A and B are shown apart, each in its own frame.
Chain A
Amino acid sequence: MDLFGSFALLLAFICAIYAIAGGILAIRTRNPFLIKSARNAGIAVCALIFLAVASLVYLFLSDNFSIAYVVQHSSRLQPSFLKIAALWSGQEGSLLFWSLLLSIYVFSVLWSYRDKHPELMPYVGVILASVQLFFLILNNFIANPFKLIGTVGPGGVLSWITQPDGRGLTPLLQYPEMIIHPPMLYSGYTGFTIPFAFALAALIGRYPGEKWIHLTRRWTMIAWCFQSVGILLGAHWAYAVLGWGGYWSWDPVENASLMPWLTGTAFLHSVMMQEKRGMMKVWNVWLVFITFLLCIFGTFLTRSGVISSVHAFAQSDIGPWFVGFLIVILSVCTLAFLKNRDYLKSDNSLDSMISRESSFLFNNLILLVACVAVLSGTVFPVLSEWATGQKISVGAPFFNRINIPIGLMLLFLTGVGPLLAWRRTSADSLKRNFGMPMAGGLIAGAIAWPLGCKDLFSLACVILSVFVTLTIVLEFYRGAKVIRARAGGNLLSSAVQLTLRNTRRYGGYVVHFGIVLVFIGISGQAFNQDKQMEMSPGSSMQIGRYTLFCQLFENVPGPNYTSERVSIDVERDGKQVMMLYPEKRIYGDSDEAGTMVAISSTPREDLYVVYAGRSPQSDKPVIHAYLNPLVKWVWFGGVVVVLGTILALIPNRAAAIIMQAAKQPAPATAEQAIPAGVHYDGSD
């Protein structure tokens, strides 16, 4: 089965070369047979990678311990779903897994557009196959997951051996989040390859217009959604598993996933400028190039060990390959741009500072600044070593000082942007649209301040969050009112109608609302508390409105571990609420420890309790308790973002034509009866 898998990989490598060479020839000669053949080769690459992954999964499930990768990440007693997840727990397998997810995207593109857009698709196919080729080179020749274990016997004879059992997945990975976080995050990273390929293809092929944006919009939104989920799942894993009480530490690998998200978000917004006003063509092309480069850079940072981080894969020699690939991508993009940039001239330019274009420009500006800041902070050790010979790193204060104001500015723009008109907004329109939401925000701030929200940034967050929420509600309300006036029904059903007629716009508003919730959750951090003390059965600890009573301290055996566990009775405001069991597990043979955090989570705050080991003098358990307000809002906001994206992906329901006897002189066109900013057919 390992032969089957490695052969499938090799065949995929060969097919990818053909897809590229044949594809280039097909573009040159415009031979329909070649075009089809190259595309089929591209599909074959995807199928073969799938087969390679299937065989690796089979090797795991069948406990084949003659394969080095299986021995390192699996064992006989490991549950089946963890054996499958072991696929992406190491260098070789996770590279193959990346190829698999990329292949799913590539296949969906090649298949959906198989007989369409013949001027564009051959270029797209070549580019996609080239990206796949890179990862196939890695998996075939540098980091092959199908390597056998061998020893050199007497006389220098190499023989294959089979281990009796594997080492098993490291305990720190045996959590649900670790099972789902890589697939989600990789689905984000790989998904951005699609808009990249189309942008580059359109540039190289001098494909006119904004069609490449329309064609790839769904994939970009899906990739962006997966990236968002992947980042939040990573944060949740850090929070629920690592036990330091927080969910984001500006660790290089965390930053690596955030950077393409920042530019991807900028891209999702600035393409609207290109679609509506033909502006920002050069900017958009480079934005998507940079997003893709950051995805590759992100996985390079994680795998190469070039920056020391919490998530370290082995220090490996895979780094230079990624650097080479990044250079190749950058060169191709630059050459293509230099050659064909004259066809990317803008149709229009900025008319007014108080316009939707302007808000998008500012949106892009600050997202890019945030990305540059995160990038510089992350690679600071490398840069400083080049520049001064001294390796210097910067920590959370650097990132927070820049990104918190940026976050607040973004929040402001989220409320302002949708209310500004294209080209120019009048002062009257401004007053009409902003008055109520801004007033609501300030009132909320006035309420929050005496209630204890005395941190300036958190206060600003409250004011702006309420402001944005009210602008979103107003948008739905105004549109629903119009539909109700014409078609009857109540406000709610009208709002549903409204949404379904322009899912991209109103789904986008739901996503904005989800982001507002995430921001509110993040702002809770300003009020975190924590307390640490020794406890023994009978003693108690007070934190916030919670009282923790230590009931038991015992050793509890598990299937492959023993754990030291503290049973804690939790009271909130004097009433018994729940039992928490923070523990520390010691896994049998490997002698590795795993701390299990106990969390009691409510919308208002999380009570987060860690068993910090025995006190060295008294041998009593040490309990570290944290009170983290509003954390649940972050996770809930993430759910709303996903729902909003799904909503935005639904195709628009066409506007219904209402045939009705005129009761009054009918307006000349439907447009006239509707206030500016809301079009009946849902377009902007």
Chain B
Amino acid sequence: MNTKLKFGVGAGIILATLVALGWVGAKESKTYYHTISELSTLNQAELRQHMRVSGNVAPGTIQHLPGQIDFVLVEENNRLPVSYTGTDPLPDTFKDDAQALVEGKLGPDGRFIANQVQAKCASKYEVAPTPSGK
């Protein structure tokens, strides 16, 4: 019993440490999913969250500017202007009409500032959207 108790204590310490580390890691990287239509319903605290929004790239809206790439994300009838400010190149699948997932924060002017953009092929049955901004 003594040995089992010792093992239990050792296991407990390891578990407690790892759970604590996990807690910290989760807080550091928590990202909320929101749809574009939800964004207008968020309160002040929620607007400051690190979030992910998905939608389709509106055709013709992709603009390459110094230090950022602007485009508009649409979801049904909702439009969201996005600025991607990450350093990594955008994925090869990122183009008009592509399904895209942007991660970042909503800026004060309603423009979404993304530090990461993932894009999927517009076609079905397909593989490998690629991430960037990691």
Name A's B-contacting residues (CB within 8 A): 72, 89-91, 170, 172-173, 242-246, 249, 251, 308, 310-314, 349-353, 358, 361-362, 365-366, 369, 373, 376-377, 380-381, 390-402, 405-406, 409, 532, 584, 591-595, 610, 612-613, 616-617, 622, 624
Contact = CB atoms under 8 A, between A and B. Distances in A.
Interface in B1-51: 3-4, 6-7, 10-11, 14-15, 17-18, 21-22, 24-26, 28-33
Nearest to B89: A612
Contact of B28 (A308, A380, A397): A397
B112 to A, nearest CB: 17
Interface of B: 3-4, 6-7, 10-11, 14-15, 17-18, 21-22, 24-26, 28-33, 52, 54, 64-66, 87-89, 92-93, 95, 101, 118, 120-121, 124-132, 134
Contact of B66 (A349, A377, A397, A617): A617
23 contacts: A72-B125, A242-B131, A243-B89, A244-B131, A249-B134, A310-B129, A312-B120, A312-B128, A313-B127, A381-B33, A390-B32, A390-B33, A391-B33, A393-B30, A393-B31, A394-B30, A395-B31, A397-B25, A401-B21, A402-B21, A532-B87, A593-B93, A616-B65
Given A249-B131, A311-B127, A617-B66, A392 B33 contact: yes
A592 B97 CA distance: 13
Given A246-B134, A392-B30, A394-B30, 9 more contacts: A172-B128, A313-B125, A362-B10, A397-B25, A397-B29, A398-B28, A398-B29, A405-B21, A593-B93
A242 B130 contact: yes
B53 to A, nearest CB: 11
A349 B3 CA distance: 10
A353 B6 contact: yes
A361 B26 contact: no
Contact of A402 (B4, B22, B125, B132): B22
B108 to A, nearest CB: 23
Nearest to A610: B89
Contacts of B65: 616
Nearest to B11: A365
B17 to A, nearest CB: 7
B8 to A, nearest CB: 11
B29 A592 contact: no
A181 to B, nearest CB: 12
B31 A350 contact: no
Contacts of B130: 172, 242-244, 310
B18 A402 contact: yes
Contacts of B66: 616-617
Given A90-B125, A170-B127, A592 B89 contact: no
Contacts of A173: 127-128
B99 to A, nearest CB: 9
Given A349-B4, A398-B26, A365 B14 contact: yes
A456 B121 CA distance: 41
Given A312-B129, A616-B66, A170 B121 contact: yes
A391 B17 CA distance: 26
A311 B22 CA distance: 25
A377 B18 CA distance: 13
The 6 closest A-B pairs by CB, nearest first: A616-B64, A398-B25, A395-B29, A391-B33, A401-B25, A612-B89
A400 B25 contact: yes
* Residue among A72, A310, A311, A351 with most chain B CB within 10 A: A310
Given A170-B127, A173-B128, A616-B66, A391 B3 contact: no
Nearest to B35: A391
Contacts of B128: 170, 172-173, 242, 310-312
A394 B33 CA distance: 11
Contact of A353 (B3, B15, B31, B124): B3
Given A392-B30, A394-B31, A624-B87, A594 B92 contact: yes
A239 to B, nearest CB: 12
Contacts of B95: 591, 593
Contacts of B134: 244-246, 249
Nearest to A68: B125
Contacts of A91: 125
A308 B14 contact: no
Contacts of B28: 397-398, 401
Given A312-B127, A392-B32, A393-B31, A244 B88 contact: yes
Contacts of B14: 362, 365-366, 369, 409
Contact of B32 (A361, A362, A391, A613): A391
A183 to B, nearest CB: 16
B134 to A, nearest CB: 5
A401 B66 CA distance: 35
A211 to B, nearest CB: 28
Contacts of A397: 25, 28-29
B29 A308 contact: no
A361 B7 contact: yes
